[in-house]
Amino acid sequence: MGKTFAEKVLARAAGVGETTAGMVVDVYPDLVMSHAASWRCIRTLEKLGVDRLYDPDRIAMVMDHTAPAHSAKTAADQKLCREFARAHGIRTFYDVEAGIAHVVLMENGHIRPGMVIIGTDSHSTIYGALGAAGTGVGFSEVTATWVAGYLWMRVPESIRIEIHGPLAWGTSAKDVMLKLIGEMGADGATYASVEFHGDYVAGLSVSERMTLCNLAMEMGAKFAFVPPDDVTRAYLAERGVTPDGYQEVQPDPDAVYAKTVALDGTSLSPQVACPHAVDNVQPIEAVAGTRVDQVFIGSCANAKYEDLAEAARILRGHHVAPGVRLIVTPASRGVLTRIVADGIFSALVEAGALITNPGCGACAGDGGVMADGEVTLSTANRNFQGRMGSYQASIYLASPAVAAATAIRGAIADPREFL
Amino acid sequence: MDSRIRGRCIVFGDNVNTDVIIPGRYLVSIDPKELAEHAFEPLGPAVQERLRASQVVVAGKNFGCGSAREQAATCLVGVGIRAVVAKSFARVFFRNAINTGLWAVVQPEAVEAISDGDEVAIDLEAGTVEVKGRRFTFPPYPESLRRILDAGGLIPYLARYVIPQGGTANG
């Protein structure tokens, strides 16, 4: 009987011959990522009275959620992390200038096909864009894995999602995911490993695959996965990772799936997730005209180079509507460097955008929060009540193209008007 | 650890997310008592008051969806909640609950039968939830999870069983 990606990758990381969905195994992750939560792990380790780590080379730390520090407490937390990393020889340490952990680690060649990664962040499913198994855990669990090297995992059932393309102009991976989340629900893939297949997926860049895998978490997925191919290999090669540095894991053609879902993307219109749930999804036609106070282009879902380029393409020759704030937070220093080099930065500023330093920014409730009664259209992955400031504010989620069109109109707008 | 608890319930609906349970702005703390002050703050002071008078949270499907923040479980422990009975859990919340010593019980029929303010009895050993004279069963936890819960969470478990053996599974 054939095996799914999850069954194969967990068998390897657990050092057992094979696994089947439902089994519980002790898994040794190849990488243990902690972001702004790193200090909580360090304090927990102190409480344990342990100073010995299983393998410092399997630990990555990125200071992303509140960067740079905005309070003496946060500054002290970050200082603790720097000192800890130095003292324990943790070489994969990125400081406040680097950006969002997921994007930083992928851009810098730390994520490779076939790896198992746990992280103190639910959107760790994003690593599936490079054929790796990533999943979120709490800080106690990361601390425990720092020390013990392993954690228990239940081998998940898998859901196969087949997406047919190409998409129409004005739609992108974000619209595909919002459509899927709307149809499957916020728990539509709970505990499952979600595999993305089909001609549309095969034709995507790694950036768009990141958006797919990132958003899979919003239907409850444990892992997300895109089969590694030439696109993956080229992305890795650009970052100095050669094929002898990883072992690709592909699902068998006769693997057993709990469910197969088909989506035809060719007739998809731009999608919007309405307050306060990611599965409260409407086609743009149903919400166009809704007034906004702020547009946020940021987050690990949609603030990569291609996302900002798409927004700039629409914004060029236009200006942000009077009274509307457009906040752009590049996902990483790498993204910032590229948009500065090729003029996208200037185009965004000329259109009226405020560009912040790379990081999680407003998506994590940092720079760019809202007052009572305000409305933001965001390219992020969550619109929960109170996530961006006031509990009495509202968040709509959409693609970078919808965000750009909305910033120009001052109300939710269809990017196809700017064709 | 005693495998039975009895307490008053506070009832929520489906898809209760982590940002509502504990807003991101309070993640600067890991202290259960401090976090408890802000548990369910977005839903207002009346809900928070009922929460403080309860020992069991009852919820619909997908409880704790969203962020991986462990404080979503810690804040409930801090406020005096001993167990969450739900139709289903988001996977990270389920792990975080076990890891912080909070019982997470899946029993959809019990959820349907429980009303806000009801007194319930949960027996982890027997795998039962009792309310208003009705008894609902659930499969007992696997031994490995029970050991973590019995120790009071993952960190106390680690301190008791794993560290003394040299820190790794293989010794």
Cα angle A61, A340, A171; round to 5: 85
DSSP class of residue B24 equals G
Q: What are the angstrom distances between the C-alpha of A373 and each of A122, A370, A381, B21, B121?
A: 28, 8, 21, 21, 42
What is the topology classification, in CATH, of domain B4-162? Aconitase; domain 4 (3.20.19)
Closest C-alpha among A105, A98, A100, A135 to residue A120: A135
In a domain, A54, yes or no: yes
Q: What is the mean pLDDT of residues A32-43?
A: 96
Query: Whose structure tokens read 């992280």?
Result: A119
In a domain, A216, yes or no: yes
- Cβ-in-10-Å burial (0-12, 13-18, 19+) of A239 comes to middle
pTM of the model: 0.97
Instruction: Give residue A125's pLDDT.
Output: 98
Q: Which chain A residues are closer than 8 Å to B18 by Cβ?
A: 384
Report yes or no: B28 at the A interface, CB cutoff 8 Å: yes
The sign of the dihedral angle between the CA atoms of A12, A14, A15, A17 is negative
- What is the pLDDT of chain A when averaged over all its residues? 97
> How far is residue A357's CA from residue A355's CA, in Å, rounded to a whole number?
7
Number of domains in chain A: 2
Q: How many CB pairs under 8 A join A and B?
A: 135
Are A300 and A199 found together in one domain? Answer: no
Are A226 and A318 found together in one domain? Answer: no
* A window 170-189, beta carbon within 8 A of B: 186-187
Task: Check whether B1 has a pLDDT greater than 80.
Answer: no
Instruction: Give residue B163's pLDDT.
Output: 83
Is there a contact between A360 and A254 (Cβ–Cβ < 8 Å)?
Answer: no
Written as one letter, the residue type at A308 is L
Half-sphere exposure of A309 (CA within 13 A, CB side): 12
Are A247 and A279 found together in one domain? Answer: no
Query: Whose structure tokens read 């006769």?
Result: A254
Are A285 and A180 found together in one domain? Answer: no
Report yes or no: A392 at the B interface, CB cutoff 8 Å: no
In a domain, A209, yes or no: yes
> How far is residue A124's CA from residue B68's CA, in Å, rounded to a whole number?
10
Phi, psi of A195 (to 5 degrees): -105, 125
Question: Domain with A407 in it: what CATH number?
Answer: 3.30.499.10
- CB atoms B154 and A141 under 8 Å: yes
Q: How many residues does chain A have?
A: 419
Are A304 and A166 found together in one domain? Answer: no
Phi, psi of A347 (to 5 degrees): -60, -40
Are A225 and A359 found together in one domain? Answer: no
In a domain, A277, yes or no: yes
Q: What are the angstrom distances between the C-alpha of A322 and each of A265, A274, A352?
A: 35, 23, 10
Cα angle A382, A261, A219; round to 5: 20
Are A253 and A295 found together in one domain? Answer: no
What are residue B65's DSSP bridge partners? B17
Task: Check whether B95 has a pLDDT greater than 90.
Answer: yes
In a domain, A5, yes or no: no
Question: How do residues B98-154 score in pLDDT, each as one tens digit?
Answer: 999 999 999 999 999 999 999 999 999 999 999 999 999 999 898 889 999 999 999
Question: What band does A1 get if pLDDT is binned at 50, 70 and 90?
Answer: confident
Q: A221 is in which domain, residue-wise?
A: 11-263
> How far is residue B116's CA from residue A76's CA, in Å, rounded to a whole number?
42
The H or E element that residue A397 is part of is strand A394-397
- Tokens representing residue A147 in the block: 């020390």
Question: How do residues A49-61 score in pLDDT, each as one tens digit?
Answer: 888 999 999 999 9
Output the furthest CA–CA distance in chain B (Å, rounded). Answer: 51
Among the three residues A242, A263, A284, which one is the final residue of a domain in this structure?
A263
In a domain, A268, yes or no: no
Closest C-alpha among B91, B168, B84 to residue A118: B91
Report yes or no: B73 at the A interface, CB cutoff 8 Å: yes
B60: nearest CA partner in chain A? A187
Tell which of A47, A50, A122 to mutate to test the B interface (max B CBs under 10 Å): A122
Are A258 and A277 found together in one domain? Answer: no
